[in-house]
Structure 1
């Protein structure tokens, strides 16, 4: 049985990813950490606690670890607000009380604790910045040997980014830009990394037809939550959104849904290109997701949400 530790940054895609992990069979969730990045930390932690109350039926003693990591470059405020709205959704608040606890340790130390106490190497799924992992490695480098594989949503290797800031040249992806030094720290390790970059999910846009599909299946509570969650996001033609985080999570659960290639990559940490990940002969080996099997992806996602 695959054992997973999930670290995310609290926007809708991240919270849907957590829901899918709660619903997935044949895995064991060891822990969850939330970082104050693409979503605000307070509603992110609260929403995860409520989702655990509502949908966790198999994982014992789950607690949500709050990160105290801080940004080098913080996400735009407007992007982060959706987490507050998600946390207010009626389906998560009908009970009126929350049972799932916060973990006693901050997320990077909670990660160390869960890794060191695991009886076998575990899978890390990270859909936000890599800062908690980088800090964990600095505190205890030995945990590197307790990680079977890291699935990370971040970066891109084709030179296009989604950062439009005065201190950036537009070539970097936001999770890498949030803390370029953390990316370098993790890349300097020997951890096996499978990267879902901006170029990995072009078959999986957040479209009106997909929203309608979720709406048509709202009789399933998990499907209803997904539809309600994505209704909080309004995309525009010039900034189309894709299911980056969800693909990363589904890739960890079902490796057969993606096509990959091997690459060598390095990260730029300073200057206007800080956070950009480039292919380099002297870079570290990574596995890059290049495409997804759209039909199989949606089939598996539907199966989980209808469980």
Structure 2
């Protein structure tokens, strides 16, 4: 039985690899894709997404552009990666882009796709939740068409990954970009599965993973993984703020194979204002979310590598 998945992403390296992996999952019916310009610039992320679908998909999809704007923009340097993926020779070999741009912006595309899809759909979001929050504001009844939301966002540690003036450093970027949007989704009745920053501690990008992909690059999909992740810094000696963990790819793998992780329920709220805006806080009277707290590292890397080998 295939699961209906709608994917909204923000164009980073691991977002684009996530799209590639979704296209290889036999148990997934990818119903829609949209791109929000948070941790990316919209044009190259749209082109890269459409080219990945052309090269590795089976057609039948369009890609919607988000016109959402965040409260706190991502750093410019982080947003550049989509340009590099879009320029990969593998994605430009055909010289044309066939997958169309949707005729509706992302938040309306979400509503339309949920309504047009038989049964319920799992929403996979690897960027901020702004498009979903806007969709819920326009048509709250779409909740009944949503199986669950699987989101890479938030942290329940004291320290997040936001290091900006006038902020206390407790937030994670996908929440911080638009805290009100996350709070709006928290107010909904949608079941939420969360891959938080700490969920990915066991899956940093390390040199041994890169070497494994290099040895198996005869498979075009594994070569694509290696080429994409060559753009980001691995964990070598110790973790820094630039160390790359497989945040979005773990979130995507969780959709394809829930046996890779363990989850626990946490009651939480989202802080929307002040020096802690964007912080997700555990509190007894908060709304329940299921948080990934443990990952089978070896099984995870085996899973995504085997998916990549299926690509032709």
- TM-score, with normalisation over the residues of structure 2? 0.96
| Match in the other structure for 2:50 | 49
2:207–2:234 Cα contact (<8 Å) kept:
no
Matches within 5 A, 1:1-307: 1-57=2-58, 60-235=59-234, 237-239=239-241, 240-307=243-310
CA offsets 1:165-221 (integer angstroms, 9 cap, x no match) = 002110000000000000000000000000000000111001111111111111111
Aligned Cα root-mean-square deviation (Å) = 1.0
SS for the counterpart of 1:108 is helix
- CA shift, 1:26, in A, is 2.0
Q: CA deviation at 1:97?
A: 0.6
Distance 1:74 1:211 in 2: 31
Structure-2 separation of matches of 1:234 and 1:287: 30
CA distance in 1 between counterparts of 2:36 and 2:234 reads 24
Q: Distance in 1 between matches of 2:38 and 2:211?
A: 29
Tell me, yes or no, if the aligned pair for 2:200 and 2:250 is still in contact at 8 Å.
yes
Structure 1 unaligned spans of 5+: none
Q: Distance in 2 between the 1:184 and 1:41 partners?
A: 24
Deviations 1:14-72 (A, max 9, x none): 00000000111121110001000111111000001101110013xx5200111000010
User: What secondary structure sits across from 2:108 in the alignment?
Assistant: helix
Deviation >4 Å, runs of 4+? none
* Alpha carbons 2:114, 2:121 under 8 Å: kept: yes
**Residues of 2 paired with 1:48 and 1:238: CA distance?**
29
Q: What secondary structure sits across from 1:152 in the alignment?
A: strand
Please report the TM-score for the alignment, with normalisation by the length of structure 1.
0.97
CA contact (8 A) 1:159 1:278 kept: no
* Counterpart secondary structure, 1:166: coil
* Structure 2: runs of 5 or more not aligned: none
How many residues align? The count is 305
Give the 3-state SS of the residue equivalent to 1:20 in structure 2: helix
SS of residue matched to 2:262 = strand
Deviations 1:137-161 (A, max 9, x none): 0010000111001100000112220
For the Cα contact (< 8 Å) 2:232–2:244, is it kept in 1? no
CA distance in 1, matches of 2:234, 2:297: 20
State whether residues 204 and 234 of structure 2, in contact with CA within 8 Å, keep that contact through their aligned partners in structure 1.
no
Q: Contact 1:53 / 1:100 at 8 angstroms: preserved in 2? A: yes
